[in-house]
Amino acid sequence: MDLNYTASQKAFREEVRSWLTENVPKEPLKSFDTEEGFRQHRAWEAKLNQGRWGMVTWPEELGGRGCNLIEWLIFEEEYYRSGAPLRVNQNGIFLLGPTLMEFGTEEQKARFLPMMATGEEVWAQGWSEPDAGSDMAAIRSKAERVGDHYVINGQKTWSTRAVWADWVFGIFRTDPESSRHKGLTFILVPLDAEGVSVRPIEQLDGLPGFAEIFFDDVKVPVENVLGGEGMGWHVAMSTAGFERGLMLRSPARFQETARRLLELYQENREQADLDPAIGEAVTRAYMDAEAYTLSTYMTASRLMQGDKIGPESSTNKIFWSELDQTMHETALSILGARAELWSHAPDAGAVGSWLDGFLFSQAGPIYAGTNEIQRNIIAERMLGMPRA
């Protein structure tokens, strides 16, 4: 791996920076867990796509730029540095998009990817089911083949973005005699289909960031199956690999948080230095964010040479989720009593965003598969240890 940027990569960085400087909204958008904020973020996705920045790694014929993974990392670094809005369609563009590239038919790619890139169709994730905990294979929702369509019955829960999203992807049991990983099929379902109902679930901050989805004799055409009937677990594991690996949480997100943490420490040094452990925690957070960045560049280089992400994606997921928690806990320690200010409090200013970030970071060790599950994967598949 060459640690020096090429002239072409430097020019690409300048192009990204220039566009973002001219186009990033001057005022922060409302949370995409509100109806107004969701509309604002959907409009931002459209603007990104107009500039051909919606999904830079996609092929040009599908609205992307055909960038490689190193260029994607550069784009992400400039994106977070500019303070651009978070991506409301991240389930689509970072998880389902790559899965469609790998398993989708040409018709499916042409149908779904362009609408995903423009934000005209925002996607929710439908993995979890009631009483299943973190066990993705404990699927009870069924899809029965009837002629040229499937009839779906069941329930998904903790579905991110589902309150105002347009589509959901998930796995359903198509073989009633099967159990666990077998007999599952990956199906794309429109949330406005007859028989679908969505019930919001409040997050820690009181906003409906999640939802339950109920399927009552919902009919979807056979062409909405991704990867073939019975191949659902195989397809879903690829999607989970994207989620835990590179695409969902780029290192730029944590580099930017580490930079803000260092700035916060320097602005409040007189108070922060009363506890010597805080300075050490800030230093460690900054170094860990840089280490994760270098590790990701190494992984990207390996993938560009034809390799694939394996169970080591679980180590990424544990590392970034725990790093995010540590950085926000350190920030709250620096702020003291001011850490309790919500972002919408009259005198909160930039301080309030730390509480929002802290609350969100508590979900990191849970979503995308709990860290306990990831440690089991590491023990069994990477270290060859016996199942407990």
The catalytic site residues sit at 243
Q: How far apart are CA 288 and CA 6, in angstroms?
A: 25
Q: Give the CA-trace dihedral at 261, 264, 269, 271, to 10 degrees.
A: -100
Q: How far apart are CA 277 and CA 216, in angstroms?
A: 55
The residue whose two tokens read 């198509």 is 174
Q: How far apart are CA 339 and CA 52, in angstroms?
A: 38
**Can you read off the two tokens belonging to residue 89?**
């369609």
What's the half-sphere exposure (Cβ side, CA atoms, 13 Å) at 168?
Answer: 32
Q: How far apart are CA 293 and CA 142, in angstroms?
A: 41
Name the strand (E) or helix (H) holding 212.
strand 210-221
Q: How far apart are CA 260 and CA 251, in angstroms?
A: 14
Question: Which of 34, 30, 370, 361 has the alpha carbon at shortest distance from 202?
Answer: 34
Q: How far apart are CA 71 and CA 77, in angstroms?
A: 10
